[in-house]
Amino acid sequence: MELSNLTNTPGARKSRKRVGRGCGSGLGKTAGKGQKGQQSRKGHKHKLVFEGGQMPLVRRLPKRGFNNAAFAAKALAVNLSDLEKKFETGAEITVAALAKAGFSDNKRPKVKILGKGSVTKKFSVKGVPCSASAKAAIEAAGGSVA
C-alpha cells in the first residue's frame, strides 16, 4: 500500500449543495424553496406541530379522564436499619411514634416500613404499613406486625 494507491470510499466525500447559482444548476431562482410563502422566506421557523394555521391535532382531540398522580400522597420510606438505630428493644412502633422520632412530617403524613437493613431488636408494629420483606424480618427477630 502506497500513497499513490489510496482512494476514498464511494460516497465518503460529498460536495456541498450550492443553491441559487443559476437555472442550469437545478437549484437556481428559488434555491429549492419552492414558490412564495412563509416557508420560502429567510429566518423561517415554526413549531414541529404547526399545521399551517389549521387547528392542531393536540387541540382537536378531546381531553379524557383524570390523573391524580400529581396530588397523591406519597408514603415516606422508613427502613429497618433506621428503626434499629432509633428505637429500643420492645418498643411499640406507631405512626405517632415515628413522627416523634423525626421520621414523618406534615408534608408527607403517610409512612411505610421497608426491608432495607436488618433487625435484631424485638419491635411491635401497629397501624403502620410494611413491605413483605420488612414484616418477615421483624417477625423473624421475635417482633409482631399488626
Tell me the pLDDT tens digit for each residue of 61-92: 999 888 888 888 788 889 999 888 888 888 89
Does residue 114 lie within any of the structural domains? yes
Q: Which domain holds residue 85?
A: 76-145
Beta bridge partners of 76: 111
Pairing of strands 144-145, 124-125: parallel
Does residue 18 lie within any of the structural domains? no
Please report the pLDDT score of residue 49 as a whole number: 87
Beta bridge partners of 113: 78, 130
Q: If we measure between CA atoms, which residue out of 46, 121, 134 comes closest to residue 89?
A: 121
CATH of the domain at 116: 3.100.10.10
Does residue 71 lie within any of the structural domains? no
- pTM of the shown model: 0.50
User: What would the pLDDT profile of 35-46 be if each residue is shown by its tens digit?
Assistant: 998 888 888 888
Judge whether residue 104 has pLDDT over 80.
no
Work out how many domains the chain is built from and give that number.
Answer: 1
* 90: Cα separation from own chain's centroid: 41
Does residue 111 lie within any of the structural domains? yes
Judge whether residue 146 has pLDDT over 90.
no
Judge whether residue 33 has pLDDT over 70.
yes
